[in-house]
Structure 1
Amino acid sequence: AETNGRKTGKTKDRLSWFGGGYGLFFGSNSPGKLRSFSIQYLFLDEVDGYKKSVGRDGSPVKLAIDRTAGYTQSKKVCMLSTPLEKGNSIIDDNY
């Protein structure tokens, strides 16, 4: 029997759940991965630990939020963090 060389099903990079949804996980230093996806539900964790700018792409927080533009009526953005430095805090600026 011949086998297909392409992966199918769950992988370590994608978490699927009953009902058809799935979660993808990206680091804040890899903005290129975000460009391939529209995002309806966005969870950003420990944003005060993110770099303010990542190469030519700018703010990783702004880039991620921009990926929710296709869901204007139903998008949800959850941003979590422990504030690190008053006056220079991403979470404080977005609160």
Structure 2
Amino acid sequence: MDKKFTLCILQQIYEFILAEEDVNKRDSRLNAVRFFSELNLGTKSSFRYEWPYKVSGQFGNVVVIDLEGAPDFFSKDLFVNWAYDNLN
């Protein structure tokens, strides 16, 4: 299977989100939502956040991500590896 989201890509997106000015004003869940919004392969209107724990969009073969079991966004390695497992 061809993996669209390599660990390298996910780490780059993570660092991009971490560099945003308001990253510390958002809680872990909202930073995760922001992270997945950047990974959405569809249009902006195809990405949806369903409070409190689901995001949907076009992530290759994956359409819905359940954030309930996500590690803390600020635990980079745990979060990025969790995202990788959920996307691939």
TM-score class, shorter-chain normalisation, is under 0.3
Larger Rg: 1 or 2? 1
Q: TM-score, normalised by structure 2?
A: 0.28
Say which structure is richer in helix: 2
Pick 1 or 2: higher relative contact order, CA cutoff 8 A, min separation 6: 2
Q: TM-score, normalised by structure 1?
A: 0.27
